[in-house]
Amino acid sequence: MDWLQCPHHYHHSPLNPTNVSSKCFACYEKNHNNKSGYMCNFCSFYVHEECMNTTIPSRHKHPLKIARYIYDINPCHCSLCETGTGMYNYQCSQCSFVICIPCARKPLTINNPMAHEHELQQIPIKLSFTCDACGLSGTDQYPCICHQCCFIVHIRCLHFPRVICINRHDHRISYVRSLGPGKWICGVCRKFVNGECGAYSCLICPNYVVHSKCATKRDYIWDGRELEGYPEEDESKPFEVIDQNLIKHFSHEHNLEASISTVRLEEDVLPREQDKHCYACTMPLYSELSYKCTQCDFILHDACANLPRKKRHGASSDQLTLIAKVDQRGLGKIDSYFHNYFLCAICRRYCTGFAYGGILTRIDVRCASISNEFKHESHPHWLFVSPDEKKEDMRCEVCHYVVQYTLYLRCSDVRDCDGYILCFRCATLPTSVRHKYDEHPLYLHYGEKNVNSTYCCGICEEEIYLKGWFYRCNDCASTLHTECVFKNLLHSRPGYSLVMCLTGNKSTFDLIPNRLTRPICYLCKNRCADDLVLKNKAAKNLFMCCSCGFSPLQLDD
């Protein structure tokens, strides 16, 4: 008979009857009242006769046959405990039911006071039910039931962690068995949460709740750490207050003095004043509170000076740390892996400011400021951070960039907006900016309807799609493509030095405003059309356009 063969896959030796008792590979017993069994002469496999083929009505209605779990051929999990079945298991020849040896032998009773106060009994029959722990309905499940209080639950939902941190919320969240009456919306997927079932809630923010399944998604939402019994870490402040006007920021060696910038976006200013950029977000400083160094040109926006040292973000399940990215004049530590710039993992721009970093993640502070919900003035509804878990080709509604394998912002009102999607590259564009091609401020426009006119970009001189986003001057009506205003770099401080690897050799280039008459790039041999030009520090007459300098083929990331 076919079933009288050794279950080892590397040979097909028959199993021979024997009266010599040995350790059974099914029940693990060495001695047995009935010593009849089957043994493989090629290997040490031995099984009792009644363990070879068995009928266990309390587990399954069909006969079961012992089989070997071959990891690379027929990987499977136990239908009851939903874990790996080990080297040997029982499989049904009439359906897909698989049961591990322990589940076939032990009682199907579960005592887990953390999950439920009463004893639970697992039902080895596929049922359709709504789990009281996660609130999800499903078919073809083998539930655990409490007969004392009509409690029904998935076997895998009995082991939810009690207290965790997720990358969509700043506080810890705790598992509760029911939320109570109310209209609850999940803070991750933005869908309805059944208040009668278990979920996670924040003790500090009473309206913030998360589905149990959403909160415990490994690698996307949760870092896998159970925090019950562990005290919360004291959040370190980004600066120390010296006096009323002075602070000592962790990123800089000198004291910083509070100051109100006299530069206004709407007025003409000297180039020297206009070139003042924040060292954290690299955005220009206008009429706003900032902190300036008392001994050098280091400067931070007030908001950037208050950036938290630690932050959770949808870009990583791990907590991210604020990294000071400053230039090479001894003002701070340079990240040697990215030289003195980095590629933001979300917007895919090269950045020269501060970064929030984890083990394998770097994101700029502008993208990091959008951690969960976000209201953009171009859209009437709130947008929420969504990961591309299904690895689908999602396209931004504005730039039509494929946001595959990264985060994007999505409107929760799917019915009205058909799942409106906005990428971080577009979401972080400044609404107002100055540019050397126009003496007036430029303002971001979000498309115009019923316009039959044709406009050309003042930089590339190509036609502008007026139903899309573009920058416009309100004084002289000049228009510019957003991608022409900001290409690979959103902003960077003039005079910043970039260490780049070209053809295997490190070269240092200064990032300078392109106020020259478009110098010729020594790589592509064309006139530099970018907003910024790279100038070799060793050879003063050697220039390179940003398009060539920031090519993935040229940079050593």
Give the model confidence (pLDDT) of 168-190 as tens digits: 888 999 999 889 888 899 988 88
pLDDT in tens, 406-447: 788 888 776 667 678 898 989 999 888 887 777 788 899 988
pLDDT for the residue 477: 80
> Which amino acid belongs to residue 1?
M
pLDDT of the residue at 526: 79
User: Would you state the pLDDT for residue 105?
Assistant: 76
Contacts of 253 (CB under 8 A, 6+ apart): 330, 331, 332
**How distant, in Å, are the alpha carbons of 488, 502, 547, 556 from that of 552?**
11, 11, 10, 8
The pLDDT tens digits of the residues spanning 23-53 come to 777 777 766 665 678 888 777 778 787 777 7
**CB within 8 A of 320, min separation 6: which ones?**
310, 311, 312, 313, 356, 357, 358, 361, 363, 368
Structure confidence at residue 554 (pLDDT): 37
Residue with tokens 């690698």: 219
- What is the three-class DSSP state of 485? helix
Question: Higher model confidence: residue 372 or residue 266?
Answer: 372
Mean pLDDT for 42-67 is 79
Residues 6+ apart with CB under 8 A from 493: 275, 277, 279, 282, 327, 352, 511
- Closest by CA position to 311, among listed 238, 381, 243, 231: 238
State the chain's mean pLDDT as an integer: 78
Residues 6 or more apart whose Cβ sits within 8 Å of residue 175:
160, 161, 162, 163, 198, 199, 200, 212
Check residue 272 and give its pLDDT: 47
> Higher-confidence residue: 310 or 494?
310
- The residue type at 188: V
Q: Which two tokens stand for residue 151?
A: 């409690």
Helices first, then strands: H and E counts in the chain: 10, 42
The pLDDT of 7-15, averaged and rounded, is 67
Q: Mean pLDDT, to the nearest integer, of 76-82?
A: 79
- pLDDT at res. 137: 80
The reported pLDDT for the residue numbered 327 is 40
**Using alpha carbons only, what angle is made at residue 368 by residues 168 and 282, rounded to the nearest 5 degrees?**
170
- Which residues are 155's β-sheet partners? none
pLDDT at 305 over 90: yes
The letter for the amino acid at 377 is E
pLDDT at 175: 93
* pLDDT value, residue 59: 83
Backbone phi, then psi, for 534, in 5-degree steps?
-95, 125
- Rounded to whole angstroms, the Cα distance separating 277 from 444 reads 20
| Dihedral pair phi/psi, residue 50, rounded to 5° | -75, -10
Of the ranges 187-191, 210-214, 259-263, 452-456, the best mean pLDDT one: 210-214
Of the candidate ranges 204-208, 465-469, 500-504, the one whose mean pLDDT is the lowest: 500-504
Q: Are 216 and 238 in contact (CB under 8 A)?
A: no
pLDDT above 80 for 127:
yes
DSSP three-state, residue 197: coil
pLDDT above 90 (res 307): yes
